[in-house]
Amino acid sequence: MFALEHPELIAPDSLWQWLVDEHGQYNGCHFWSNFEIVDLSFYRSPAYQAYFDYLDRAGGFFYERWGDAPVHSIAAALFLNASQVHYFSDIGYFHPSVVSCPRGARTQGSCVCDANKSFVQDGFCTVRFLQVKQSIVDPNATVPAHSGVVRYAEPVVRTVFSNE
């Protein structure tokens, strides 16, 4: 795995814990969104270039159809500090298999979204992201990063970085 081969490139307060299960294997988590705000210098950085070259040599873009969402999410989690990554809970997202309805009073009634089908907000990966980020950025927080039901689903991209 890239992170094990290049620990010097991992940010000190990275979100790597969001990406792995209890056995240290990639858990399939990534952001389900086509909405990103990124400083392009991040993609031009030596760390990202080394990571991308590693993935390209592995052949997964061509043979496995590795997509931009997990590739970008994993890079952000490894190479940025937790305080540099923001999850936009107030912006909706729709993909045929994934729906995320925006949250917050100002978004109520301003979009067409079936909250009963919304998965991302309460999904395991989003909840885990919020909990890991809070443990790094605000370890003494008295309000939990998430409360309520956590929905689980089989990860769609489990094989991206596993040795299987």
Whether the predicted pLDDT of 144 surpasses 80: no
Which pLDDT score is estimated for 151? Answer: 52
Distance of CA 83 to the CA centre of its chain: 14
80-103 average pLDDT score: 80
The pTM score is 0.79
More confident residue, 91 or 54: 54
Q: What is the pLDDT of residues 47-90, one digit of tens each?
A: 999 999 999 999 988 888 888 889 999 999 999 999 999 888 77
Q: What is the pLDDT of residues 5-19, one digit of tens each?
A: 999 999 999 999 999
Whether the predicted pLDDT of 103 surpasses 70: no
107-111 average pLDDT score: 59
157-163 average pLDDT score: 40
Which pLDDT score is estimated for 124? Answer: 79
Whether the predicted pLDDT of 123 surpasses 80: no
CA 92 → CA 59, 89, 101, 104, 138, distances in Å?
32, 8, 5, 11, 26
113-119 average pLDDT score: 65
DSSP alpha helices (H): ranges in the chain?
2-5, 16-19, 40-44, 46-58, 60-63, 68-79, 124-137
Instruction: Clarify whether 8 is annotated catalytic.
Output: no
Which pLDDT score is estimated for 160? Answer: 39
Whether the predicted pLDDT of 99 surpasses 70: yes
Rounded Cα distance between 6 and 160, Å, is: 18
Determine contact, residues 14/78, Cβ cutoff 8 Å.
Answer: yes
Give the 3-state secondary structure of residue 26: strand
Question: Which of these is catalytic: 36, 64, 154, 164?
Answer: 36
Residue 29: how many CB atoms within 10 A of its CB? 24
